[in-house]
Structure 1
Amino acid sequence: MQLLLRRLFPTFLISLLPFGAGAATPAATDAGLATYRAERARLAARPRPVICNNDGNDFQKVTEVSKAVFLAARTTGLENTRVAAISYCTNHSWGLFSHPTKIGSVIHDPIPHSTGFSTDILARYLDAGLDPLAMMVEFGKAHGIEIFWSLRMNDTHDSNPGLYGPGFLAANTLKTAHPEFLLGTPEKKPRHAGWTAVNYALPEVRDYTFRFLEEVCQNYDVDGVELDFFRHRAFFKTTANGEKATSGERAAMTGLVRRIRAMTEREGLHRGRPLLVSMRVPDSVAYCRDIGLDIETWLTDGLLDLLVVGGYMQLNPWATSVALGHQHGVPVYPSLDESRLKDNDARKLRSSLLAERGRALLAREAGADGIYKFNYFNPRSPAWSELGDPAALATQNKDYFASIRGLGAWTQALPHLPYTTIPTLCPDAPLALEPGAKRSVTFLLGDEPALAGQTIRLRLNFTNVVPSSTRDLVVSVNGARLARAESGGRWLTFNLTGERGAMLRKGENRVTLTLASSAPEALTWTDLHVQVRYAGSK
């Protein structure tokens, strides 16, 4: 019966039938569905110290057609780490994929060589029967690692006029055949979206997105699917023009999410194993709502199993998202994306393993169930093991900052800064300190201070010359005045080791700068960096 239905009706219409219609098993019974959902909840709760996101560009890193070579580029080695799940993306803009599809386009369709994005190697892999997504599923099963297929809900890399953008767009038959799907044109670009973003207010766009997911769930033995709403965050013309999404737009997106959830249940019952649904969204309920994502309703109605929060910007403390997810029994994974600060030195400091350790420990101290790594491609990095072990992190060297992400990156979306509730201090977002003025910034410390064998240094950076003494500048931590600063370059360093570390506390700390009225000039405070070092650690 199920096969007959698939022949008589378009695939996406079957999803509109009552749950389980046409199934060859009694899966749609209340008892069967309850058993399925209980098993799904058990799988959702399994430990995932680290989730690795792979953007699917492995094929751009190889020149030889070989499964072993392909996996070695970004995957082999993860099996011996704390990585419990891989979120694998094979769509390179909405409708364009690197796995075989009958609904969208495959990226090895002709792409101009001038784009600088070689696609011949992918064609050779597919011609040899080596499907990137199938190889990842096989790898996951061989090593007990979950594989989620990640769908970027509105990826607009094809809006980039340089690099591979024009080639991606030319290869995308859906977008080229249906310009009415798009939020803009090359001549009339929206203010807050890539012009090639699709308009989710259109039923046809929602249907195609549904079918992309359904096709993968029917053709690949993945453990789940991920709806990545972070790439990219424009879904409607209202938000693309700087306005908040309407209730009707939120309802349309929620309707799509419900269809996807029902489809995963139907397909999971059909194959006899649950399909999990993960979602990657901004870490603010208010911001999600205003771009058209009713995450509170989705959680309340049980439409997702894993919640991944954050990305190129962080809007709230991680504890806020953890409380939201845990309130509904959903595990939460902060996305620790790479820093994209414009200042090279500041970006390098935040990209070190020391900084990664600090970020990971803070996420776990906030109650997160694990961490999610995005755009981190070396499968042999020690980070994959270290960042998933909070007990080991506790006594490893680390760096902390007032802000990792600063003002955040990727502006082609509804502006997010009005929703930001955490510090943004960094060279991209400095604070001016006029004579007679006082400025305060908080930072989070994941370590217990004042431990034996521990050294802690607080470093403050300024764009202009640091006063040669602390006479004009008073620095205090949690109300306690600091003294005996060391000056080097544009950094002012305070040693908070031993008894002096008692003024610090695990968790939030406040640093206050007061510049004397008699100071000869204003200061521009650009960074706050805390070094925690342990004897015997690297």
Structure 2
Amino acid sequence: MTRSIVLVVLGLTTIWAILVGIGLAIADGPVKLTNGAQTPGISIRGSEQVRGKLTKVPAEKTLLPHDPKGHHQAIDSAIGPGGAVYVNQATLMCKSTDGEAPVEPGTSANGGSAGASPSRGVGFQRRERRVDRAVAKRARSAAAHRRRRVIFNDDSEELAREEANTVDGFVSVRLTPMVGTQVDTICWSALAIWGDAPVYDSKVQPLFGKPAHGGEAPGGDLYVHYAANAKKMIEAGTCPLRTVIQFAHKHEMEAFASIRMNDVHDSFVPGIQTIWKRNHPEYLVQTGGKPPIHKVYVTAQDYAHQAVRDRKFEVIEEICDRYDVDGIELDYIRHPVLFSSVIQGGSATDAEVAIMTSFMDRIRSRMDQLGTRRKRPLLLAARVPDTFDQAKKIGLDVQAWLKQDLVDILIIGGGYSPFSLKLNDIVKVAHRHDVLVYPCINSGPLKDFTSVDDLHIAARAVAMNWRSAGADGVYLWNLGTTFNHDRGQAYLKNRATYFACLRDIGDHQTLVNRDKLYAIDGPVFAPYVLVSTKSPLPVTLSPNTSARLPLVVADDLKQATRAGSLRRLELRLALTGSIQIDSLVVRLNGVKLVTAKLVRNDAGQAHSSFNFAVTAPPLKQGMNTLQIGLKDGTKSAQPITLRRVHLALDYK
């Protein structure tokens, strides 16, 4: 049986109210006032005066009507001589909702001392006034508009390295190489790389590893050091999150705590499902007997439940209260199924959308309170799907958030179709509300569309497109996360290859006249189709029709041609199926391309690659249309599928 233990401390916040002569009607059921009003949630049962002594009147726990944002209260009332009603009010100090033993005041969920933190579930909860949103907005706006070229999401994977159990060993892996680059903000994953449990010194939830999961090394052999390193750093007084914050501030960077809002790696990675999830299957999404939209989401938590929202809120509140962060990132792309209605293939209901908007308001209000108390604003960033419509379908009314001032920074998408992302409308609406926009470059898909060696010049092309569309900078996801923990020279080479882009992709001026590799997006990774822009490739070619494909190029080709700064423009096509070069018909903005060379024609592997020399014009700045088809009468033993399109811009 799930234990839910509530500790009520009387005397700290006790209010004695003597209600005399106001016409209270004492009877079974709710208390009714003489004007017909009703006090919500207060139940008086079987009360009477006995021999002139006070008679205890049991009352139900309620969220008091005078403060809808307040914490749960307890009411104890009694009837005195002459019919006077005495009311004793007390705040519920500690509440265990995770099936574990309750956290006593002044102690840590991990066994340490909690100190005097006012976080919910840890000691006394201070009641604070709601901050005027307009006043808070002015303070946040000034902080939001600091220089922020590149936001680097750090998934905390460096903790998996054996040497990352000291400050020096921890920061040298990934953080130190960022110094001197265009990274101005680090978003560090406070709830682990996966497993939905703290890897910081939390007092409200158990630490990643045995306390949260029941095992010493959740995640398998490659992560044998992860939990142990986090624990060792915390015990040494060098909490990883605090270390990241101190490192960032020392090097004049921002530090955000990144919160994965619904991590589901536990659906396929062994040993990382939390004890809380195992004890509360009723809080997970339900398929209702229907096939899930994707099997990885079957362990997602359902945000229709207050307990699910409370668990995320208490982590956000604690970090903002106890750590010197500059802000919080709410990562709704990890993972984007928040309700049972969505995993069943439908859209979030209006009521579910309202739940999430209210939840965002609750987070914003609390962060504004804590920012006001510390006299330095706390920024709120949210990582959301590629479009407003996709976001609302999963329960996130981003446009309402903008109107209600619930976010300061929008991080757009998972980076699964970066060249297809349409930013102009999002930027226009966000900027109207003084909200900044940072689209996501995901190194995994970008590497797959190009190659590891071409990642840098491809990232330049994506960043150039987005800057031209009005984006305020770029956000990087999984950059250099190898998951195989290379050592020595292999690791150094990998890091250098991935991190090369950090020196120029965040500023328009450092992108001008630099080599780039533009592309047309390939297939989106299946679990993220519901939050990503549809990609144009792959497409099957036929002799009777031509595929029309968009190719966006932000470089000022007219100026570069006039200045003679371009060395080469080359269109590169890769196809599945073996055909001859004269079987392809390729037009760029209506002009047929004729100068081509065969790069590969492997009949055994059924792959063909062709490169076409291009000039500007017909190639132009902005939107280009590429038409690709087969000549009439072309025959092939298997379908001819266009699977990759690259445009290389090489400058002198």
Using the size of structure 1 for normalisation, the TM-score is 0.86
| Alignment partner of 2:234 out of 126, 136, 139 | 126
User: What pairs up with 1:145-164 in 2 under 5 angstroms?
Assistant: 145-160=253-268
Matched, 1:409 2:525: yes
AA at the equivalent of 1:67: V
Matched, 1:225 2:328: yes
Matched, 1:108 2:219: no
User: What pairs up with 1:238-253 in 2 under 5 angstroms?
Assistant: 238-253=341-356
Give the C-alpha shift of residue 34 in structure 1.
4.4
| Alignment partner of 2:394 out of 280, 287, 291 | 291
Residues 29-80 of structure 1: per-residue CA shift (max 9 Å, x gap): 75xx644321211111222110000011221124253211111111013231
Indicate conservation of the 8 Å contact 2:196/2:263, yes or no.
Answer: no
Matched, 1:177 2:177: no
Partner of 1:524: 641
Indicate conservation of the 8 Å contact 1:53/1:88, yes or no.
Answer: yes
Give the C-alpha shift of residue 435 in structure 1.
1.8
Identity %, equivalent residues = 30
AA at the equivalent of 2:547: R
Mapped partners of 1:71, 1:14: distance in 2: 28
Indicate conservation of the 8 Å contact 2:291/2:344, yes or no.
Answer: no
Partner of 1:47: 147
Give the C-alpha shift of residue 238 in structure 1.
0.7
**Cα distance change on mapping 1:10 and 1:316 into 2, 3 Å:** farther
Mapped partners of 1:306, 1:252: distance in 2: 21
Partner of 2:361: 258
| Alignment partner of 1:66 out of 166, 189, 206 | 166
**Cα distance change on mapping 1:257 and 1:511 into 2, 3 Å:** same
Mapped partners of 1:504, 1:188: distance in 2: 48
Indicate conservation of the 8 Å contact 1:283/1:310, yes or no.
Answer: yes
User: What pairs up with 1:481-492 in 2 under 5 angstroms?
Assistant: 481-489=592-600, 490-492=608-610
Indicate conservation of the 8 Å contact 2:285/2:300, yes or no.
Answer: yes
Matched, 1:458 2:571: yes
Indicate conservation of the 8 Å contact 2:444/2:478, yes or no.
Answer: no
Q: Give the aligned CA root-mean-square deviation in angstroms.
A: 2.8
Give the C-alpha shift of residue 442 in structure 1.
1.2
Mapped partners of 2:93, 2:363: distance in 1: 16
Aligned with 2:233: secondary structure? helix
Partner of 1:215: 318
Indicate conservation of the 8 Å contact 2:403/2:433, yes or no.
Answer: yes
AA at the equivalent of 1:332: V
Structure 1: runs of 5+ lacking an equivalent: none
Structure 2: runs of 5+ lacking an equivalent: 1-11, 14-70, 72-89, 96-117, 481-494, 601-607
Aligned with 1:91: secondary structure? coil
Mapped partners of 2:281, 2:339: distance in 1: 15
Give the C-alpha shift of residue 296 in structure 1.
0.9
Indicate conservation of the 8 Å contact 2:200/2:230, yes or no.
Answer: no
Using the size of structure 2 for normalisation, the TM-score is 0.72
Partner of 1:325: 430
Indicate conservation of the 8 Å contact 2:548/2:626, yes or no.
Answer: yes
Which structure has more relative contact order (CA 8 Å, sep 6+)? It is 1
Q: Which has the larger helix fraction?
A: 1
Indicate conservation of the 8 Å contact 1:79/1:145, yes or no.
Answer: no
Indicate conservation of the 8 Å contact 1:62/1:70, yes or no.
Answer: no
Indicate conservation of the 8 Å contact 1:338/1:351, yes or no.
Answer: no
Mapped partners of 1:68, 1:55: distance in 2: 18
Partner of 1:138: 246
Which has the higher Rg, Structure 1 or Structure 2? Answer: 2
Mapped partners of 1:482, 1:61: distance in 2: 51
| Alignment partner of 1:376 out of 479, 486, 494 | 479
**Cα distance change on mapping 1:215 and 1:461 into 2, 3 Å:** same
Residues 477-499 of structure 1: per-residue CA shift (max 9 Å, x gap): 11111212112212222212xxx
Mapped partners of 1:253, 1:121: distance in 2: 35
Matched, 1:495 2:613: yes
AA at the equivalent of 2:270: P
Partner of 1:76: 176
**Cα distance change on mapping 1:196 and 1:395 into 2, 3 Å:** same
Mapped partners of 2:393, 2:466: distance in 1: 26
Give the C-alpha shift of residue 310 in structure 1.
1.1
**Cα distance change on mapping 1:222 and 1:64 into 2, 3 Å:** closer
Give the C-alpha shift of residue 394 in structure 1.
1.3
Give the C-alpha shift of residue 212 in structure 1.
1.2
Mapped partners of 1:207, 1:416: distance in 2: 26
AA at the equivalent of 1:524: T
Residues 308-336 of structure 1: per-residue CA shift (max 9 Å, x gap): 00114347412232223223221100000
